[in-house]
Chains A and B, each alone.
Chain A
Amino acid sequence: MPKPLPALIACPHCDALYRRPTLGPGERARCARCNAPLYRESIRLDPDHLLALVIAAAITLVIANVSPVVRLSAGGITHSASLIGSIGILWQEGRALTAMLAFATTIGFPVAELAAFTVLLVLIRRKPGSPLVAALLRGIQMVRPWGMTEVFMLGIVVALVKISHTAQVVPGVALFAFAALTILLTVIISYDLKALWALRPLPEADP
């Protein structure tokens, strides 16, 4: 087994090697050579707070997906549009790739991340050394760049502006739910996952 050296830190962007400084809450370490952020200390956010936020985000995500984003009327016809319904239409119209991409980035990956995070945060307090903790953390890191709720939120706004020229638009519950979800996910993502990795016990160096 390679020897762990937790007192050191290497810049993932330029490989410069440092002795790890201790940071105060809200502080952030940057690389002196390439200026990339190295790690940060969260402001008043520990794993238990994070669990509360993750569960709140999961509930918001369900509301955002089952309720309509908008009700529209034009020429005497009224109907409502939801995210899942819109993806369903893409799929039925034979745009399977586009539908899958939209589904994965707005529903699939965020649901996977929140589900994995919930299990992880419960488990990490009892058994931080468990292999499942490592698997979940790796999974979250892999999935995270592909969840695009905040981009989708902007997409809804642009689509609404576009449609409002031709149809009457009444915002639905999901519009506000997506706005709330964007904020919750931003706070959750601001928590540096390296702090959770650091909770794992290090093995004894072999002789």
Chain B
Amino acid sequence: MTLPTARAEGLILCETCGLVCDPGDRPDPHCPRCGAALHVRKVDSIKRTWALLIAAAILYVPANLLPVMVTYTLFNTSRDTIMSGIVYFWKSGSPDLAILIFAVSIFIPLAKILCMVLLLVAAQYGVDRGLRQRALMFRVIEFVGRWSMLDIFVITMTVGMVRFRSLATIDAGPGAAAFGAVVVLTMIAAHTFDPRLIWDRSEKKS
């Protein structure tokens, strides 16, 4: 199906307020309704998204290897990574929670990075197959990203709750900050990626 696009008609959609504008031949146009700068596509979308994704991929390593929680009891100190926390849930009779945490903390961030790489490469090479599937993939990525913050909140509340003086206390580990950074960076990466790039090349070809 060939539909007219805003770009082909020389129009620009305002990213901020959603108004379609005709910029004419003015340089550096601004939206007449909300005043935001108008761009045909998000500025430097591919470069910025790559940079954020590479940073997220690097931090994914310490996020998974460093402890996110440190438990002090009378007799010993134990350090838990995200994965060992999941194993704890699994063994202590909450396999449902183990699956939930695994999905949002390990699977989603990794799948998100890989899918974004796929979207970027496909957009850069102008792949014109699976356009609707990739569009859907992007919307799913955008939607699920925030749920990866779950573990940060579990850690925050656990640290606040387990304060039994000498008996037992729990502190957050250095892995928590790295993990939080992975989530934030991939969320920003999804925001800087312009999904219209998925469709652009295929239009030029046809």
Contact = CB atoms under 8 A, between A and B. Distances in A.
Interface of A: 1-6, 8-10, 12-18, 32-36, 39, 69-70, 72, 74-75, 77, 79, 81-83, 85-87, 89-90, 93, 95, 97-99, 101-102, 105-106, 131, 134, 137-138, 141, 145, 148, 151-152, 154-156, 158-163, 165-167, 194, 197, 200, 202-203
Contact of A138 (B1, B36, B155, B159): B36
A8 B13 CA distance: 10
A194 B17 contact: yes
B135 interface: yes
Interface in B75-95: 89, 92, 94
Contacts of B181: 97
Given A2-B21, A97-B177, A202 B32 contact: yes
B44 interface: no
Contacts, number: 233
Nearest to B88: A162
What is the interface of chain B mostly: helix, strand, loop, or mixed?
mixed
12 contacts: A2-B38, A10-B5, A13-B138, A69-B157, A77-B164, A131-B35, A155-B151, A159-B153, A162-B89, A165-B92, A202-B33, A203-B33
A145 B153 contact: no
B13 A4 contact: no
A12 B20 CA distance: 10
Given A5-B22, A8-B20, A14 B135 contact: yes
B159 to A, nearest CB: 6
B119 to A, nearest CB: 12
Given A90-B156, A154-B150, A200 B6 contact: no
Contacts of A35: 132, 135-136
A72 B158 CA distance: 11
A34 B4 contact: no
Interface in B120-174: 131-132, 135-136, 138-139, 146-147, 149-165, 167-168, 171-172
Nearest to B89: A162
Nearest to B138: A13
Contacts of B6: 10, 15, 17
Contacts of B24: 2-3
Contacts of A161: 94, 97
A194 B95 CA distance: 42
Going nearest first, the 3 A-B pairs with the smallest beta carbon separation are: A86-B160, A155-B153, A159-B157
Contacts of B147: 151, 154
A2 B12 contact: yes
A2 B16 contact: no
